Chain A
Amino acid sequence: MDHLVFEVGTALVLVAIAAVIAGRLKFSIIPFLIILGMLVGPHAPTIGIINLKFIESAEIIEFLGRIGVLFLLFYLGLEFSVGKLIKSGRSIAIGGTIYVLMNFALGLAYGFLTGFPLYETLIIAGMVSVSSSAIVAKVLVDLRRTGNSETELILGIILFDDIFLAVFLSIMSGLLLGGATSIGGTILSVLISIGYMMLFFVIARKGSPVLNRLLNIASDEIFIIVVFAALFFIAGFSETIHVAEAIGALLFGLALSETEHSKRIEKLVIPFRDFFGALFFFSFGLSIDPLSLGNTLWLTLGVVALTILGNFVAGMIAGRRSGLSHKASVNIGLTIVSRGEFSIIVANLGIAGGLMPILKPFSALYVLILAILGPLLTKESKRIYNVLNKVFKWSNQNSKSK
């Protein structure tokens, strides 16, 4: 216990180095932190008093990572308001629905065809359906794509995707964590989850005057204590009624999203989300034995190929339907293919629910590949378009139709 702070400090230094390198390479830090975690972890050497296995501190690091999930999802809840979604319009609702349905169906088909049981298949389908808001938003800003005409559709699809994630996680946590054995019990625990979720939706829509008054705190110090206390309390309470704590955090964020204070909370939460979020990816990496990745390699490659294809086709359909050019539509599919934090959270829920342990290395490899490949595909979208254009002759068609 003597070296606890030192151990955590060492871990943080490694995380910081990985983050700096990722920043230099202009890359998302997510894959770097996962790989770092896998490299140290149980296989790392001990150098003097520096113990890179993080045995003593493993629990603490894991706990800090868990806090990271709470902040990630709390922020997600704050960001998407129902009002925003309604405002964003029809083309996004259609595009988002096409995207989610297609990917979810592909995921289900893949899970069944490769012989997974029902729950595992559902988790895989969930992982395949949710793209990474963090990576996509970062890539769009870094590559200076925010001005492009397809950008709002991409962000809209992601917003839609995030809402799907909330519903999906609620239902799955009812299914997996409820611990019910009979069909009736399972239905009941799913209903509890959905009811719990609806409760927060109602609070978000109707309760904002009350919340506004409660949160009318001038001092930032007291404000942050109150908000964080409520966040941890609600997340923890959710666990007791078998709703995943991450969902509790998300729903609490949702409840606050319509208040006047949402911008202020967002500002306060971002540093915490970034810091603890980094530890989440690191601790996820720590929990993975690199040697176990080999067993799932082919399985993962299959689902990666499927994801890219599914995203591409869904992006083309969504883009063309809302009147964008072929070029812009190609960009959509190639941008939303990135996978990250949410796919891991879905997989972790499966693990917490006692499903097959193979989900863990599977999700790690899946996220690693797509967190690296996604931004690359986005960057090279012009070249990919040019190649595809030669095959499909899009630009000729356009000029003819004019």
Chain B
Amino acid sequence: MNVREIELPGIGRKFEMITRSNEKIVIVVHDDGRREIYHFDEHDHDESISSVTFNDSEARQISAIIGGIVYKPRALETVEMAFDDLVIEWFKVENNAAAINKSIGEIDVRNKYGVTVIAIIKKNLKKILNPGPQAMIEPGDTIVICGERSELKAVIKELLSSGGE
């Protein structure tokens, strides 16, 4: 989708886009923090048929909802982003999983499975990005791993699910 960005001197900035279904949407960000969204007639792009105004905090909330940020945490366990066969997966380490209380170096998934641990999200939502070999996996952690689909499956089954090895 092509977004046109236009300065409105004295008012703010305007973002204009036409969706695939030929609906024109315009977002105006006012200098005073207000945001307005205009929706234009499908057949006449000069005729605004509806508009909404948000204040700054409302706008942020709405944008988070549209952007999928608000809803994402619940989906955290199974969200997949597939680029052909390369997959990034969020997985919450289950209780009694084999990897618990072991360090990244100990489980050595990179050499054994060809899977990389990109991040560990701790129970308190603290993120460890690109964790080193001494980073520990604890109960309740969510770990973000990247690799080929079959290998990820193996790692999850053998190391991260309860009742594995």
| Chain A interface (Cβ < 8 Å from any Cβ of B) | 79-80, 84, 87-88, 133, 137, 140-141, 144-149, 151-152, 155-156, 158-159, 325, 327-328
Contacts and interface: CB of A to CB of B under 8 A. Distances in A.
7 contacts: A87-B7, A146-B30, A148-B46, A149-B45, A152-B6, A152-B14, A328-B46
B154 to A, nearest CB: 52
Contacts of B47: 327
A144 B10 contact: no
B67 interface: no
A288 B10 CA distance: 31
Nearest to A134: B10
A84 B45 contact: no
Given A144-B38, A144-B48, A146-B36, A151 B8 contact: yes
Given A146-B36, A147-B38, A147-B51, A155 B10 contact: yes
Nearest to A385: B46
Contacts of B12: 146
Nearest to A329: B46
Interface of B: 6-12, 14, 16, 26-28, 30, 36, 38, 40, 44-48, 51
B9 A79 contact: yes
A133 B10 contact: yes
A80 to B, nearest CB: 7
A222 to B, nearest CB: 25
B28 A84 contact: no
B10 A137 contact: yes
Given A325-B46, A327-B46, A328-B46, A147 B10 contact: no
A149 B46 contact: yes
Contacts of A327: 44, 46-47
Nearest to A324: B46
B9 A155 contact: yes
A141 B45 CA distance: 19
B50 to A, nearest CB: 10
A133 B28 CA distance: 19
A146 B8 CA distance: 8
Contacts of A80: 9
Contacts of B36: 144, 146-147
A87 B14 CA distance: 15
Main secondary structure of the interface of B (DSSP, over half): strand
Contacts of A151: 8, 14
A59 B91 CA distance: 77
A329 to B, nearest CB: 10
Question: Which 4 pairs across A and B sit closest by C-beta, in order of nearness?
Answer: A147-B38, A147-B26, A146-B28, A327-B46
B23 to A, nearest CB: 13
Nearest to A151: B8
B8 A152 contact: yes
A88 B28 contact: no
Contacts of A140: 11
Contacts of A141: 11, 30
Name which of A144, A156, A327 has the most chain B CB atoms within 10 A of its CB. A144
Contacts of A156: 9
Contact of A147 (B9, B14, B44): B14
A159 B47 CA distance: 25
A152 B44 CA distance: 19
Contacts of A87: 7
A144 B14 contact: no
Contacts of B28: 146-147
B11 A148 contact: no
A147 B14 CA distance: 7
A342 to B, nearest CB: 14
Contacts of B27: 147
Contacts of B16: 147, 149
B48 A84 contact: no
A19 B51 CA distance: 27
A79 B45 CA distance: 30
A79 B7 CA distance: 13
B90 to A, nearest CB: 38
A151 B26 CA distance: 12
Contacts of A159: 9
B11 A155 contact: yes
A140 B40 CA distance: 17
Contacts of B38: 144, 147-148
Contact of A79 (B10, B26, B30, B40): B10
Contacts of A79: 9-10
A148 B48 contact: yes
A140 B9 CA distance: 12
Contacts of A147: 14, 16, 26-28, 36, 38, 40, 48, 51
A84 B9 contact: yes
B2 to A, nearest CB: 15
B7 A152 contact: yes
B51 A144 contact: yes
